């Protein structure tokens, strides 16, 4: 596709050949990069923006499709603001418009106003049968003030950078998965005696199942069944933990605001949790309760290294920037937080360590974390 360029501050910005109005109509690459930048800005500010997509692929297949598409782009330029970002969401197939700085106005009103203005403008310049072939969609980011309709199913539209990373690191991710499979099999073999001893101790100290199963959130918010050796009494009320998590995440200085359960240096797990059994305290202190997660790694739900998988009700309390730790990588048994902070850090610092891991991920970083993990487990630092 032909393009022209504009030189500004020694940087070349390329635009699509399509617009005749002189507007900035971005190519797919620039539009996707801009979309990622707007998403990151919204994650920090909490201010929403609207993504409008127009599927014009069927129109472009017509003999006069290019001319019709030029009219569509021209009308979009007339009925949008200068600060709105227009370009190809998918090159010569789907047009995207990012309506920035929408504020906290009524979202239904905004969508209705934009829909009427754009539809009316397009209806007058193209024939109705062409108009009816276009598919138009509207998606907000963040959805419902930071939570998607289902919090654990964020829209992939806003994360094109993840696909780009996956393409560039295909081989590295393949090697990581191979290490996960071989490492989890090795772990199950080495600790197989404990898989015989632990069930007996758990059964002798309290009635109930050997394994504790819980719904957790994996890569891109997909839920899976998380396995641990049971360390608590059965039929517990999770309201204690729900309240604790809510206070922990909401409290800006990293404390949970409750001096009876923890101090500023002990903030991620509930100390002296009355729900935990005697053998459970030992399992948690030594991290032996985590051994069944090798099965989760074999299944592909988890990796050996990555952020810890949150509980859905924990995710519901997340700020927008917290959500990146769930969306961008597969969760792990151990991670940067476990070897550098563990329970003796604030929630925000834990998230920052997870995001640092995501930014700097490499196979060598995984190996360094795996090497450090046994020492952290043996010393029991930050565990209780």
pLDDT per residue over 176-202, tens digit each?
Answer: 999 999 999 999 999 999 999 999 999
Quickly state the pLDDT bin for 144 (edges 50, 70, 90): low
* pLDDT of res. 178: 95
pLDDT, mean of residues 354-365: 90
Query: Are residues 235 and 361 located together in one domain of the fold?
Result: yes
* pLDDT of res. 189: 96
Question: 82 lies in a domain?
Answer: yes
pLDDT, mean of residues 12-35: 71
Q: Which two tokens stand for residue 35?
A: 């979309």
What is the rounded CA–CA span in Å between residue 264 and residue 96?
A: 46
Quickly state the pLDDT bin for 106 (edges 50, 70, 90): low
For the chain, the residue count is 384
CATH number at residue 83: 3.30.70.270
What is the rounded CA–CA span in Å between residue 116 and residue 137?
A: 13
Quickly state the pLDDT bin for 381 (edges 50, 70, 90): low
Residues 6+ apart with CB under 8 A from 97: 51, 52, 53, 54, 76, 80, 84, 85, 86
Query: Are residues 215 and 336 located together in one domain of the fold?
Result: yes
For residue 266, pLDDT beyond 50 = no
For residue 299, pLDDT beyond 80 = yes
Question: 66 lies in a domain?
Answer: yes
* pLDDT of res. 6: 41
Question: 146 lies in a domain?
Answer: no
pLDDT, mean of residues 114-141: 74
Query: Are residues 267 and 174 located together in one domain of the fold?
Result: yes
For residue 257, pLDDT beyond 60 = no
* pLDDT of res. 319: 83
If DSSP codes are grouped into helix, strand and coil, which group holds residue 304?
Answer: strand
Q: Which of residues 111, 141, 171 is at a domain's end? A: 141
Query: Are residues 174 and 108 located together in one domain of the fold?
Result: no
Going by their DSSP bridges, the two strands 211-217 and 223-229 should be labelled as antiparallel
Query: Are residues 66 and 177 located together in one domain of the fold?
Result: no
Residue 21: count of CB within 10 angstroms of its CB: 14
Q: Which of residues 107, 141, 175 is at a domain's end? A: 141
* pLDDT of res. 11: 42
| Number of compact structural domains in the chain | 2
Instruction: Pick 140 or 89 by higher pLDDT.
Output: 89
Question: 153 lies in a domain?
Answer: no
H/E/C letters for each residue in 28-43? HHHHHHHHHHHHHHHH
Q: Cis peptide before 142, with omega less than 30 degrees from 0?
A: yes
Residue 149 to residues 52, 61, 141, 215, 343, Cα–Cα distance (Å): 18, 35, 12, 18, 31
The model's pTM: 0.72
Question: 147 lies in a domain?
Answer: no
Residues 6+ apart with CB under 8 A from 132: none
Mean pLDDT check: name the lowest of 78-82, 120-124, 185-189, 364-368. 120-124
Query: Are residues 37 and 121 located together in one domain of the fold?
Result: yes
For residue 49, pLDDT beyond 80 = yes
Query: Are residues 110 and 175 located together in one domain of the fold?
Result: no
Quickly state the pLDDT bin for 153 (edges 50, 70, 90): low
Give which of 101, 77, 78, 102 is closest to 87, Cα–Cα. 77
Question: 156 lies in a domain?
Answer: no
Per-residue buried b or exposed e for 161-199, using 16+ beta carbons within 10 Å of the residue's own CB: bbeeeeeeeeeebeebeebbeebbeebbeeeeeeeeebe
What is the rounded CA–CA span in Å between residue 210 and residue 279?
A: 12
For residue 228, pLDDT beyond 90 = yes
Question: 256 lies in a domain?
Answer: yes
The DSSP secondary structure of 234-288, one letter per residue, reads SS--THHHHHHHHHHHH-TTS--S-TTT--TT--SS-TT-TTB-HHHHHHHHHTG
* pLDDT of res. 222: 87
Query: Are residues 217 and 355 located together in one domain of the fold?
Result: yes
- Domain residue limits at 242: 162-379
Query: Are residues 99 and 231 located together in one domain of the fold?
Result: no
* pLDDT of res. 19: 59
* pLDDT of res. 191: 94
Mean pLDDT of the chain: 79
Question: 214 lies in a domain?
Answer: yes
* pLDDT of res. 112: 76
For residue 12, pLDDT beyond 60 = no
Query: Are residues 45 and 184 located together in one domain of the fold?
Result: no
Query: Are residues 112 and 169 located together in one domain of the fold?
Result: no
Query: Are residues 83 and 226 located together in one domain of the fold?
Result: no
Residues 6+ apart with CB under 8 A from 76: 54, 86, 95, 97, 118, 121
* pLDDT of res. 267: 43
What is the rounded CA–CA span in Å between residue 31 and residue 177?
A: 32
pLDDT, mean of residues 65-70: 82
Residue pointed to by tokens 């909401």: 250
Q: Which of residues 141, 175, 196 is at a domain's end? A: 141
* pLDDT of res. 44: 81
Quickly state the pLDDT bin for 321 (edges 50, 70, 90): confident
For residue 293, pLDDT beyond 90 = yes
């Amino acid at each position: 596709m032909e393009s022209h360029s504009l030189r500004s501050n020694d940087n070349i910005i390329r635009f699509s050949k399509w617009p005749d109005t002189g507007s900035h109509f971005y190519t797919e690459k620039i539009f996707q990069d801009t979309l990622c930048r707007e998403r990151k800005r919204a994650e920090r500010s909490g201010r929403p923006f609207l993504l409008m997509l127009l599927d014009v692929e069927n129109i472009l297949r017509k003999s006069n499709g290019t001319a019709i598409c030029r009219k569509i782009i021209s009308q979009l330029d007339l009925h949008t603001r200068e600060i709105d970002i227009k370009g190809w969401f998918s090159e010569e197939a789907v047009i995207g418009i990012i309506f920035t700085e929408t504020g906290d106005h009524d979202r239904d009103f905004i969508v209705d106003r934009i829909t009427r203005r754009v539809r009316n403008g397009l209806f007058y310049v193209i024939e109705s049968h062409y108009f009816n072939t276009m598919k138009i969609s509207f998606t907000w980011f963040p959805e419902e003030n930071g939570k998607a309709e289902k919090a654990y199913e964020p829209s992939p539209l806003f994360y094109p950078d993840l696909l780009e990373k996956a393409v560039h690191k295909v081989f590295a991710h393949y090697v990581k998965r191979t290490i996960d499979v071989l490492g989890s099999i090795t772990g199950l073999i080495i600790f197989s005696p404990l898989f015989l001893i632990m069930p007996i101790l758990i059964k002798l100290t309290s009635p109930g199942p050997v394994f504790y199963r819980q719904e957790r959130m994996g890569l891109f918010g997909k839920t899976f069944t998380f396995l641990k050796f049971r360390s608590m009494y059965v039929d517990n009320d999770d309201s204690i933990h729900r309240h604790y998590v809510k206070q922990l995440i909401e409290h800006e200085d990293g404390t949970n605001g409750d001096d009876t359960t923890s101090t500023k240096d002990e903030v991620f797990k509930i100390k002296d949790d009355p729900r935990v059994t005697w053998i459970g305290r030992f399992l948690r202190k030594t991290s032996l309760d985590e051994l069944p997660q090798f099965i989760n790694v074999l299944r592909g739900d988890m990796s050996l290294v990555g952020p810890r998988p949150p509980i859905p009700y924990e995710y519901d309390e997340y700020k927008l920037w917290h959500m990146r730790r769930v969306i961008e990588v597969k969760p792990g048994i151990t991670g940067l937080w476990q070897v550098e902070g563990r329970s003796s850090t604030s929630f925000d610092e834990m998230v920052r360590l997870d995001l640092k891991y995501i930014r700097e991920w490499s196979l060598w970083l995984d190996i360094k974390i795996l090497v450090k993990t046994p020492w952290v487990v043996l010393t029991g630092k930050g565990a209780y």
